[in-house]
Amino acid sequence: MGPARHKATLHSLVPVRYLSEMDLESASAQSTFNTIYNPRRNKGLAFTRDERAQLGIEGLLPDSVDDPATQLARCASHLSHKPTNLERYIYLSELEDRNERLFYRLLRSDLGRFMPLVYTPTVGEACQEYGHILRRPKGMWLSLRMKGRLREVLRNWPDADTRFIVVTDGERILGLGDLGANGMGIPVGKLALYTAVAGVPPWTTLPVHLDVGTNNESLLANPLYPGLRQHRATGDEYLAFVEEFVDAVQHVFPQCCIQFEDFAGKIAVALLDCYRDRCCCFNDDVQGTAGVALAGLLGACRVLGQPLKSQRVLFLGAGAAATGIANLIALEMESEGLEIEQARARCSLMNSRGLVTSQMSGLSDFQMPFAHAAAPCSTLIEAVRQLKPTALIGVSTQGGAFTEEVIREMSSLNSRPIIFPYSNPTSKSECTAQQAMEWTGGRAIFGSGSPFPPVTVGNRTITLGQGNNVYIFPAVGMAVYATQASRVPESVFLEAARTLASQVTEASLRDGIIYPPVGSIMACSEVVAIAVAKHIVQLGLARNPEATRPGADIADLVRRLWYHPETA
């Protein structure tokens, strides 16, 4: 099969839109292979008898016609026989490959159960084993071997109206480090949540891996590693390749938003600074994490009955995530009346060398706004005692770094200490929910990046809040999709954080719960998406005529564009 014929076949197998009732007559002439084996068209045993006759697929399926409940029950039965979460991840990935609509119906049937299987924490293990569990490749793999031809290669993707790309180079996957091409599980998982949580149509999304090599020697020596077998490109070669990729996206998919994901800290900040004013893009590790952290702090402030500007925040970690959160906190404090320098002075960072101070050498430009004049501290407990923070935020990927001594010191300084161990996966979390509650006598206001089981506080058993970026980035994605935004400024994440915080009920706050329950995440995402979309329109960044016409009903626009697998 020659290249031209192969490309045409790809396009026929991955159509831009779904089969609908009106398509049935014309679709009857299409190949049965394209009907049954294309995940966007395949309905499995849910094809009615009339559809089977009209599509020419009679006899190719068992006699039974499944209703939606039966299909979900069949999936549940399969999952119940899988012995590990990794095996469940593999099953769900294969379900997406053969019946996309059923995959999203299943996810939405119990998001609290399935999000940890398709994303954190299971996706971390899946990425570590990606070369071993790889079945059908998803998305696009752009290798250094393709430099100079990225526009041409991107045109091989069959959906011309691609609106979202989540891209990684695999260098800093979660808290697991350099996983190279195995990091593709992250863009795949992120985009599944765009659709499952916030209604972004799946045919508008594209996961991408920029394969510039890996410095992980164990992967390079592994015969099943699927990526480019060389050490990482760096410097001008690396930056030129990323530049070519961003340029190619603008030409091939002119309305596409790029989400940078799991790049190394300094590179992440540099790429965001380089492209944020040149194209529609954002970095979820920097800005999405900042949005969900700020929302958690705003919720904590509601519990305390205090303004954000009165808080003192100490970060364990001084990379892109920490400075991204600190920047957004400072902007919100500024909106409450502080000068920006006063606001930044209330945020302090710790790195591997100790407290970040103005006397410390070798700091990056993005760390300098939070390098204050202070006595040096080499340990976290010293910094807590010196700075007396009201909030402790962990973005260090150092599991167990919030020790009993540290948490008890926070508890002695504050009647309700704010403890946010945001690192993930779970093994990298700075402390557990149970530890935070035990060591503070149940007084901690807690939010974590990884999910933890319910904890007992006194005579109550409660599920504490998870500060998962999924509360932010899918809703921002839907807002960008609905408005066709030309840019994603920092104020978008302020708006998202404020709106998310407003969705927490007073009853939840009384229990110390600062994020909406996972069961309401779709409804919450709709509210956030509408608020962010309105903000984008107010900023003059919307390109969709439906959003910019006088009197446009933005809420109605978002709801009309929302993807529903039952009716797609």
Q: Is residue 188 within 8 Å of 133, Cβ to Cβ?
A: no
Q: Is residue 332 within 8 Å of 311, Cβ to Cβ?
A: no
Instruction: Reply yes or no on whether 190 is catalytic.
Output: yes
Residue indicated by tokens 């500024």: 334
Rounded distance between C-alpha atoms, residue 495 and residue 83, angstroms: 42
Determine how β-strand 313-316 pairs with β-strand 347-351: parallel
**Structure-token pair, residue 215:** 């410095």
Rounded distance between C-alpha atoms, residue 350 and residue 524, angstroms: 33
CB atoms within 10 A of CB 553: 12
- Give CA separation, 408 vs 161, 186, 377, in Å: 54, 35, 19
In this structure, what DSSP letter does residue 284 have? I
Rounded distance between C-alpha atoms, residue 120 and residue 428, angstroms: 12
- Give CA separation, 490 vs 279, 471, 496, 515, in Å: 14, 17, 10, 21
Rounded distance between C-alpha atoms, residue 181 and residue 131, angstroms: 8
**For residue 447, what are the contacts with CB-CB under 8 A and spacing of at least 6?**
293, 296, 300, 419, 420, 422, 464, 465, 466, 467, 514, 515
Rounded distance between C-alpha atoms, residue 78 and residue 91, angstroms: 8
Rounded to the nearest 10 degrees, what angle do helices 473-483 and 491-502 cross at?
120
In this structure, what DSSP letter does residue 175 have? T
**Structure-token pair, residue 363:** 């700091």
Annotated catalytic residue, options 43, 190, 309, 428: 190
Write out the E strands in 124-204: 140-143, 164-168
Q: Is residue 392 within 8 Å of 384, Cβ to Cβ?
A: yes
**Structure-token pair, residue 176:** 């697991």
What own/partner pairs with CB < 8 Å and gap ≥ 24 does 268-271 have? 268/172, 268/320, 269/320, 269/323, 269/364, 269/366, 271/242
Q: Is residue 315 within 8 Å of 350, Cβ to Cβ?
A: yes
**Structure-token pair, residue 537:** 């329109």
Rounded distance between C-alpha atoms, residue 58 and residue 51, angstroms: 9
Instruction: Reply yes or no on whether 266 is catalytic.
Output: no
**Structure-token pair, residue 468:** 């998962």
Q: Is 256 helix (H, G, I), strand (E, B) or coil?
A: coil
Annotated catalytic residue, options 18, 89, 104, 119: 119
Q: Is residue 135 within 8 Å of 98, Cβ to Cβ?
A: no
Annotated catalytic sites, by residue? Answer: 119, 190
